[in-house]
Amino acid sequence: MRDLFLLHLLSTLMMCGIIWIIQWLHYPLFAHVGESSFQQYEILHRNWISPIVGPLMLIELGTAVLLVLQRSEGISPLWCWIGLGLVGLIWLSTFFIQVPLHNKITLNFEVEAIQALVRSNWIRTIAWTLRAGLLLYMLRSMLASAQSAS
């Protein structure tokens, strides 16, 4: 259980860091690439970011499900369910908001769509930040439970 939790924590912390870089730096820069080279830039962005975030998101989802299914000392099942709910929110936002916006701006450079991407990405940024905080709290609880048991 400990290794499962640590893998889950690692994938979430990595995604939290990635999403903050995307939110504050990468997506806002989209509007400054310029219309003539934007389509190629967007295609490269999608091709290069997907092999990084795809496996991390799958690991995070899989380990979140396993944490709900397995009970562990020091971890409330409620926290595991909340964490899984936030993963669900992230996936729904990704596939129903961000991916369609990426598809739209791949076809046509639209500053309004880029701005919508930046605004809507706050859903994932906040959700991953909440997940990171929740998991660090859960880690603290696990450590306290282990310490009191010894």
Residue 9: pLDDT band with limits 50, 70, 90: very high
What digits encode the pLDDT tens for the residues 77-97? 999 999 999 999 999 999 999
Q: What is the pLDDT of residues 13-72, one digit of tens each?
A: 999 999 999 999 999 999 999 899 999 999 999 999 999 999 999 999 999 999 999 977
Of 46, 131, 141, 117, the closest CA to residue 88 belongs to 131
Predicted confidence at residue 101, as pLDDT, reads 97
User: CA–CA separation, 41 vs 4, rounded Å?
Assistant: 37
Q: What is the mean pLDDT of residues 129-146?
A: 93
- What per-residue confidence (pLDDT) applies to 146? 82
pTM of the model: 0.94
Task: Give the CA radius of gyration of the chain.
Answer: 18
pLDDT digits (tens, 9 = 90+) for 121-136: 999 999 999 999 999 9
pLDDT score of 26: 93
* Predicted pLDDT of residue 114: 95
pLDDT at position 150 over 80: no
**The pLDDT value given to residue 72:** 76
Closest CA to 15 of 134, 117, 131, 140: 131
What span, in angstroms and rounded, lies between the C-alpha atoms of 83 and 65?
9
Domain ranges of the chain: 2-149
